[in-house]
Amino acid sequence: MTTTDQIWRILARQSFAVLSHVTPDGAPRSSGVVYTLADRSLLITVAIDSWKARQIPTDGRVAVTVPVRRGGPLVLMFPIPPATISFHGTAEVLSRESPEGRRALAALAPMIPPDRRAACRIISVRPTGRFVTYGIGVSLGRMRQPALARGQAPVA
């Protein structure tokens, strides 16, 4: 069984996630984002005019899935999906001028080209509830058996 601390360590080593939300008119939307982890929140940078920057502030509820690459020759021979960590979260768009926004921008600086820093928004996503995992803490062979590959852990 994978622990909450192990999941946080894995999330800290990753940098790509799929962020999902619902538009104000109820349509589902998801897109890939890059992130860094700080204080048990995902910090994400998005373009000012993106769907995410415009629509996430409406209610702040999101879902996130982080794919976790697994290596080795076995993945070349068998159709084994990537491991994943999924969770619900609350999202907040931070002002770049606020103390939180300045800290987030400093943490994200290596991921943002200098010419795009002035034209970005920062989204902080705090996981809530439980992490739902697939293939985390199990062998590649067990990943082929969904009942053995699934797991959960509390966020806190």
pTM beyond cutoff 0.75: yes
- In what helix (H) or strand (E) does residue 55 lie, and over which residues does it extend? helix 51-55
d(CA 92, CA 94): 6
Torsions phi, psi for 19 (to 5 deg) = -105, 125
Q: What is the pLDDT of residues 54-98, one digit of tens each?
A: 888 778 999 999 999 876 777 677 777 789 999 999 999 887 788
d(CA 93, CA 56): 8
d(CA 149, CA 89): 23
**Superfamily classification of domain 4-150:** Electron Transport, Fmn-binding Protein; Chain A (2.30.110.10)
| Residue 1 reports pLDDT greater than 80 | no
- Tell me the domain boundaries of the chain: 4-150
- In what helix (H) or strand (E) does residue 149 lie, and over which residues does it extend? helix 146-149
